[in-house]
Every structure is written in structure tokens, then in C-alpha cells.
Amino acid sequence: MPLVANSSLPTYEALKKEGETVIPRQIALHQDIRELHIGLLNMMPDAALAATERQFFRLIGDSNQIVQFYMHPFTLPQLRRGPEARAYVASYYETFEQIKNAGLDALIITGANVAGADLAQEDFWAPLIEVVEWAYANVTSTLCSCLTTHAVLQFRYGQRRQRLPAKRWGVFAHRVKDRHHPLVAGVNTRFDVPHSRYNEVTRDQFERSGLHVLVESEQAGVHLAVSEDGFRLVFFQGHPEYDTISLLKEYKREVLRFGAGEREDYPPFLENYFSPLLEAILDEYAEQVRAAMRSGIAIPPFPEPLIAPRLDNTWHDTTEAIINNWLGKIYQITNTDRCVPFMEGIDPDDPLGIRR
């Protein structure tokens, strides 16, 4: 399923170098192939802005429906960004007004980094609500990732996320709870999902909101759930879009923070992510870091080149299958007029709210 390079966004060139299929817009216009327009509201901080683009673009492009994908990244101006990120957004991103005027077939909303306990106090709170409410009325399906799931559960369903005793950090086994739902049709009944968060919304909170849990972990809790109609809102609580090395990058960042005196404790290993061999290598590195700090000298370079090639990815294939199911259902539901509100044309007897 090809991505269409409908702008000069650098992510397209990066994905081409990885071997992904990306076709120029001028070629796509001459192909008699159905197109879907997917929005990406990217709320991630500056350092993760482009990486998050690549992760979600890659998932879309790896699907196997016969359709052209036009990706439309945008962000919220209320998010604080540095000069370089602001210039990047100004050069390559669309505005929400442009998105509303053109319409979308589907929308993905990323997570975000927050400092406070109450999401309603964040600068992005009101504009995020505006985007979600517009999408609920005008877009076939919206996929909410991690923190956005928590935000939507709070403002739409009155369920506040709960602080965990410790960070849920690692790769956890999950099971499909409803094998008959179209989003999980044909996927592995047991598969892994990365998690990286300090808060959660529990199964009980999802169910009290009338939401349907599709995938859950005994250790990590609910990962995948859907709205009452079965499709209009899709909730991820984990990070299935992560690259193989995404958690390694997070671990490295925390180790370097310890080395710089920005955190008191040396970061623990992520659960179910490093092999015993890699943990031994990292234990040895931890001793080198502590020794350097005691001696007042620079800590040695993090052994990322030694660790990264030995990491396993146990989640991408199943995530790709779920995204493929999501896009396949959108393909069936949508027509070519993306500005028609989603609520028009719904069969009330259809539990998935499919257009007729």
C-alpha cells in the first residue's frame, strides 16, 4: 500500500531509504487507484517529532490494501516548541483549518509529554478537545494513542487516569479478548506490545464508560479498546508504533540523565526487553558510569552500537495487521466526499456505524 509523497516532508525520503514504497504525487495523480487521506495530529515534543511521523507513516505504508495514502501531519500551536521545530512545522505541516476544509478519511492522534498531574491544566487541553469533537462528527475513525486515550477518557467519559506505583516500562504479553471484532480479525491471539507510561486507565474505567476492551495484558492492563459504536474511536494505551530501538533510546536518555546528575537512581531495566546477555553488558556499563562519576571524569559512551543489533521486535507484525484491519474497514465505509459528516448515512442497526 503506497504512501504518496504529497509534500517535501523529510520523512518520505527517510522511509524510502528504509525500503518503504513511496511514490511521487505527480505519478500518483495518473494512477487510477482509490486514495485515502489520513491525518496525523503530532503532539510529541521536538526531539521525537520526526521519529513519531516515521513510525506512524511506516505502519500506514506497510498495510496491504490497494489504495494510495495521502498523509496530512499537523500539530497544535499551543504546544511549546523551540525555533527549529517551529520552522519544521511551518515548512511541512498543515494547519487544523486546512485539515477541516479539506476533510479526512481517518485521523491518528499521538501522545504527548506532560509535566502536571491534571491533563485539563495542559495548554493543549482545549484545542485537543476541539480536534477530537470535530473528528467525531466528520471523520470515519480516530485512533487515539497513549496520552490522548487518557485525555479523551477524561473529557468525554469523565474517567481520570490513575498514577501507577512505578513506571510501566517494557514489552508485555497481551491477549485478544474479543476475536470477532473486525479490528482484531485474523491477528495473533497472543502478542507483545511496548508500554512506557506512569499512568493508566483501568479495564473497569473503560467498561464504566461503555467502551469495549479488545486487547489486554495481565501485567500491563488494557491496550486496545473501541467506542460504543465499535469503531469511531479507537484507543491504544501502549505504543505498538514503536521501532525496535525506541525503548532503547528512552533507556539511554535516562542513563545519561543519571550520569549528568539529573536523576538520583540508575534506571532499572525495562521488563521483557533486554536479553540476559544484553543485561550483562548494560550492568558492566553501569559500573563504568558509577566509577567515572566517583572519579569526576566523563562517563563512557553508551554502548548503543553493541546493543541495538541484538534487540528483538515481537510486536510489529501484529500491529501492522491491526492497522491494516482499521484501514480496510475505513476503506469500506468511506466515500470520496470526505467533508460529509460521519453521522450522515449511518445505519442505526449496524453496530459499527458503517456508511450505506
Half-sphere exposure in the Cβ direction for 69 (13 Å, CA): 30
Residue 349 forms part of a structural domain: no
Q: Which residue has the higher pLDDT, 116 or 271?
A: 271
Q: Which domain holds residue 214?
A: 3-243+313-333
Of residues 239, 250, 316, 320, which has the active-site annotation?
239
> Domain check: are 21 and 160 in the same one?
yes
- Return the axis-axis angle of helices 49-61 and 316-333, rounded to nearest 10°: 70
Residue 344 forms part of a structural domain: no
> Domain check: are 275 and 223 in the same one?
no
Residue 343 forms part of a structural domain: no
**Residue 30 binned pLDDT confidence (cut-offs 50, 70, 90):** very low
Of residues 200, 241, 250, 320, which has the active-site annotation?
241
- Amino acid 97 reads E
> Domain check: are 116 and 264 in the same one?
no
- Dihedral Cα 177, 181, 185, 188, nearest 10 deg: -10
Q: Mark whether 146 is an active-site residue.
A: yes
Residue 300 grid coordinates? 563512557
Per-residue pLDDT of 187-207, as tens digits, reads 999 999 999 999 999 999 999
For residues 99-123, average pLDDT: 92
Q: Mark whether 239 is an active-site residue.
A: yes
Can you give the pLDDT at residue 153?
Answer: 97
For residues 248-270, average pLDDT: 97
Can you give the pLDDT at residue 20?
Answer: 59
Instruction: Report the CATH number at residue 25.
Output: 3.40.50.880
Q: Which residues does 47 contact at the CB level (< 8 Å), separation at least 6?
A: none
Residue 82 grid coordinates? 523551540
> Domain check: are 131 and 80 in the same one?
yes
> Domain check: are 252 and 229 in the same one?
no
Residue 8 forms part of a structural domain: yes
> Domain check: are 185 and 121 in the same one?
yes
Alpha-carbon distance 25 to 11, whole Å?
15
Per the prediction, the chain carries an average pLDDT of 89
Residue 356 forms part of a structural domain: no
Q: Please state the domain count of the chain.
A: 2
Of residues 122, 146, 195, 316, which has the active-site annotation?
146
Q: Is 334 exposed, middle or buried (0-12, 13-18, 19+ CB in 10 A)?
A: buried
